[in-house]
Amino acid sequence: MITTIGQLFKIEYGQKEYHNKEWLEGTEGKNILVSSRGDDSGVFGFFEIENKFKAPVITVQGYGTIGQAFVQEYDCSVDDHLLVLIPKDKLTMEELYQVAFQIRLDKWRYRYGRGITPDRLSIQKISLIESKLSYDKLSKKFLPEKSKKIKVLENKNVKLIKVNDLCDIQKKTALPQNALEENGTPYVTTTSKNNGISNFVNEEPNTKAKCLTVALNGSVGETFFQFDDFITSGDNAVLTLKEKYNPYLLFYIGAMIKNHQWRYNYYRKLNLSKLKKMTIPTPYKKGNIDIDYIEKITKNSYGFEELKKFF
């Protein structure tokens, strides 16, 4: 069936209240806010906000990564850099992904000076075919299973602790990756994908595994837990625990640092001085960090069963 997007969807702009996101600091929660970033389905973060759009919908970036289209499988809020495609009649998940894919194929038509508007998008022709793939079967095959929740009693004794008091923070030096031949050592850059790994090279690692990398350039503030020995350059900060290695605490610190990512961008860089002074909320019990509490909330995280094998 050949039709147009306008015939299948009501097209709206996102929400103006999320044009500036600074006021969201300290409101972290469970509800999704979608922005104009080009990966991770455009998810900016999770906050205690009211969801406006009921899933499934398609979000299309009018600015930023123009033309990037994502199917949103969960209720969400959307900032005003995006268009939201709301199905007029029920469409299957397979059909929604066909539409999103065809929008991406057409994104070459747009650029910074010629953004996507509801009128321009509504007349785009698309073709829907009967899919031989099942979204439900594919998602079960590739997505981690949800683990059983561990009972966690809330810890209200929380202190703001400087990252520098928890971790040793340093920079490394390395040859540019394009000066090295390909081989088996992970080269961690400032990309926001694949755990920060851009390539595998024929050079000895300059950093041991089981630490955090924080991007100071590129995808500023992007934080990853590194499972293997690797190479990185001065564009990343490398964080290791001052005390005995504890993967649960290190994951927690990484998640808290990433919550500050909205503060920085290509023009407002993060540096070692700012990172050392950054404070993160840390649960305490009887004068010490509540490691038991941190371990339980980490184990309750989606996908933990896939991660724990690398601890």
Query: Tens digits of per-residue pLDDT, 123-141?
Result: 999 999 888 888 888 887 7
pLDDT band at 24 (very low <50, low <70, confident <90, very high): confident
Lowest average pLDDT, out of 19-28, 52-61, 251-260, goes to: 19-28
Q: Which pLDDT value is given to residue 146?
A: 72
Q: Closest by alpha carbon to 227, among 309, 107, 113?
A: 309
Read off the pLDDT of residues 82-134 as tens digits, 9 standing for 90 and up.
999 999 999 999 999 999 999 999 988 888 778 889 999 999 999 998 888 88
Residue linked to tokens 């991406």: 104
Neighbour order of strands in the sheet with 288-289 = 158-162, 279-285, 288-289
Q: Which pLDDT value is given to residue 186?
A: 95
The residue length of the chain stands at 311
Q: Which pLDDT value is given to residue 75?
A: 96
Residue 37 predicted with pLDDT over 90: no
Residue 228 predicted with pLDDT over 90: yes
Q: Report yes or no: 236 and 213 within 8 Å, Cβ to Cβ.
A: yes
Answer with the residue of higher pLDDT: 109 or 56: 56
Q: Which pLDDT value is given to residue 27?
A: 79
The arithmetic mean of pLDDT across residues 208-218, rounded, is 94
Q: Which pLDDT value is given to residue 283?
A: 93
pTM of the predicted model as reported, rounded to 2 decimal places: 0.69
pLDDT band at 240 (very low <50, low <70, confident <90, very high): very high
pLDDT band at 304 (very low <50, low <70, confident <90, very high): confident
Lowest average pLDDT, out of 4-8, 151-155, 233-237, 247-251, goes to: 151-155
Q: Across all residues in the chain, what is the average pLDDT? A: 90
pLDDT band at 1 (very low <50, low <70, confident <90, very high): confident
Domains of the chain: 2-142 (3.90.220.20), 158-310 (3.90.220.20)
Residue 145 predicted with pLDDT over 80: no
Read off the pLDDT of residues 150-190 as tens digits, 9 standing for 90 and up.
777 777 899 999 999 999 999 999 999 888 998 999 999 99
Q: Which pLDDT value is given to residue 64?
A: 72
Q: Which pLDDT value is given to residue 284?
A: 93
Q: Which pLDDT value is given to residue 133?
A: 81
Residue 233 predicted with pLDDT over 80: yes
Q: Report yes or no: 128 and 12 within 8 Å, Cβ to Cβ.
A: no
Q: Which pLDDT value is given to residue 163?
A: 97
Q: Which pLDDT value is given to residue 302?
A: 80
Torsions phi, psi for 172 (to 5 deg)? -115, 160
